Structure 1
Amino acid sequence: MSIEDLPGVGWSLQERLNRKGIYDCKQLQAIPKEILQGDFGVKTGDMLWCYARGIDNRQVQNYQERKSIGAEVNWGVRFNSPSDAHHFLTSLCEEVSGRLQEAFLIGRTLTLKIKKRKEGAREPEKFMGCGSCDNLSKSITLGCATNDAQVMLRVTKQIFASFHLGGFIKCSASYH
């Protein structure tokens, strides 16, 4: 099993392990716990030693509190005019508002994520795909939590305008 598949091993820790010639659990198992703890710290060294052997002492939880509710569309969306963008953002805010209301929740932070075709990029090879894009994202935290679609739309339109996209040609958007 590759070390990148272990819980808690992100790109940074993976890079540090790779610099030491460690790419899989078999290689990791060959290293004594004390050396791992010396190289990566007591807690991380212990975690690596245990996970490489299939030992996971974390408590099993059947319920995890939801941290966010969103809606995302990342294929097939093309804005050719400002009205296309307005219509899409309106639909997205209404969807998120409905999901929040169904869960009896309100939220304070709105995040808008946009995929904008890279300058000079060709049409995507995949039908209705994104192709080569720049990912833009911005969040705004409101003073008061809400699940009102109109409030979300007003803020989302401000965020969208702040991207200064110029032309609306061939970009896709998501709201989360």
Structure 2
Amino acid sequence: MEHQQPIRRKIIHIDMDAFYASVEQRDNPEYRGKALVVGGLPEGRGGVVATASYEARKFGVRSAMSSKQALQLCPHAIFVRPRFAAYKEASQKIREIFSRYTDLIEPLSLDEAYLDVTEDKLGIGSAMDIAKEIKQAIKEELNLTASAGVSVNKFVAKIASDMQKPDGLTFIGPSSVERFIEKLPVEKFYGVGKVTAQKMMNKGLFTGADLKKLSLAEMTANFGKTGAFYYNIVRGIDNRAVQPHRETKSMGAEDTFPYDLTTIDEMHAELDKIAQLVHDRLLKYQLKGRTVTLKIKYADFKQITRSYSHPERLNDLQLIARTAKDLLAVTDLEDARIRLLGITLSNFTPIEPKQKQSSPQLDLFE
């Protein structure tokens, strides 16, 4: 493989601080300064933590933790259900602030995004100054705080944004990138999960400097395609561009139930509700998909998926629900206790706008 040369860009990674919880504390004065958990309620079987305020995080409460465990760690915590409409509205306003400076915005979720400001709209020039202005605008206009990482590539900017939370701003300049990555523990590498991190440490690889000692062949032999990616990363090379128009690969919805579902009627009723959510989202984004996937999680946490691809793309509510129920019927439901159901549509194409008979066919991607 030809050795890559780093492309130097001015990249900012913005990550909102405890976003859902911060919106709740902003909108509800009684939550301010309190340990707040946004997500499933701990009653019944309990749900999952979506995010927690920094007051709750001091007690060890973290995203993706069960709400019951969160309550054990922080008995005085206040639990609230998510209000996604409010978070989406705030996210859209944050995106408007970003767009004052650049059109090269790659959202990763409602609360984080990459910005390429190599050439900024206002001619400011300094990525640090732009990041400061964005943080200040978010604080003044939305009464929320964000942390920012600024560097020459996406990988380093992403890690930098997490270094001084909350309300942080971290700059890793071109001359510091390799040294920064060499000192970085492998578990802090963005994209390295617990399993891969443990595999690395089992091989005596604890930092970027340790990874740097391995040849490209050794990295790919041990870690496959991602090995080649990290071979470049530890040398400060990440030439991925900020992608303003990320293609939607799938769209779905799922629900974890307060108590196990044990009858077909209960399951069908829940699938109807989930299918309605999926249908509404497809219409909102003007999408049709061919493949319907049913996700089932049993009471023992065993999880399976079943898929069916239709010959034509669809967004019909009844057909989505019926397909999901048909997929449910071919699973082993004898004595089944189900804690979660989900429906996802994939293999998309946008819905074509209606044209007059005499009009030529337009290419939506032209």
Fold match (TM-score > 0.5): yes
Q: Does 1:135 align with 2:135?
A: no
Which of residues 102, 105, 118 is equivalent to 2:287?
105
- Structure 1 residue 4: Cα displacement: 4.8
Paired residue for 1:20?
203
Q: Does 1:175 align with 2:357?
A: no
- Structure 1 residue 24: Cα displacement: 2.5
Q: Does 1:82 align with 2:293?
A: no
Paired residue for 1:36?
215
Pick closer, same or farther for the CA change 1:114–1:59 going to 2, 3 Å. same
- Structure 1 residue 64: Cα displacement: 0.5
> Does the aligned pair in 1 maintain the 2:295–2:343 contact within 8 Å?
yes
- Structure 1 residue 62: Cα displacement: 2.2
The higher relative CO (CA closer than 8 Å, separation ≥ 6) is in 1
Query: CA deviation digits over 1:121-157, x for unaligned, max 9?
Result: xxxxxxxxxxxx1111111111111000111111111
Tell me how far apart the structure 2 counterparts of residues 80 and 65 of structure 1 sit (CA, whole Å): 38
Name the structure where strand makes up a greater proportion of residues: 2
Pick closer, same or farther for the CA change 1:55–1:73 going to 2, 3 Å. same
Q: More displaced, 63-72 or 163-172? A: 163-172
- Structure 1 residue 54: Cα displacement: 4.1
> Does the aligned pair in 2 maintain the 1:114–1:172 contact within 8 Å?
yes
TM-score under structure 2 length normalisation? 0.38
Pick closer, same or farther for the CA change 1:50–1:93 going to 2, 3 Å. same
Tell me how far apart the structure 1 counterparts of residues 260 and 198 of structure 2 sit (CA, whole Å): 37
Gapped regions of structure 2 (runs ≥ 5): 1-183, 345-366
Tell me how far apart the structure 2 counterparts of residues 65 and 91 of structure 1 sit (CA, whole Å): 26
Please say which structure displays the higher CA radius of gyration: 2
Tell me how far apart the structure 2 counterparts of residues 144 and 5 of structure 1 sit (CA, whole Å): 44
- Structure 1 residue 59: Cα displacement: 1.3
Map of 1:27-66 to 2, 5 A cutoff?
Answer: 27-29=210-212, 31=213, 35-41=214-220, 47-66=229-248
Residue 137 of structure 1 aligns with an amino acid whose one-letter code is T
Query: CA deviation digits over 1:145-176, x for unaligned, max 9?
Result: 10001111111111111112113545321222
Pick closer, same or farther for the CA change 1:44–1:170 going to 2, 3 Å. closer
RMSD: 2.8
Paired residue for 1:3?
186
Partner SS, residue 252 of structure 2: coil
Paired residue for 2:173?
none
Pick closer, same or farther for the CA change 1:167–1:61 going to 2, 3 Å. same
TM-score under structure 1 length normalisation? 0.74
- Structure 1 residue 39: Cα displacement: 1.5
> Does the aligned pair in 1 maintain the 2:257–2:339 contact within 8 Å?
no
Partner SS, residue 70 of structure 1: strand
> Does the aligned pair in 1 maintain the 2:297–2:338 contact within 8 Å?
no
Residue 218 of structure 2 aligns with an amino acid whose one-letter code is D
Percent of aligned pairs with the same amino acid: 29
> Does the aligned pair in 2 maintain the 1:77–1:173 contact within 8 Å?
no
Paired residue for 1:124?
none
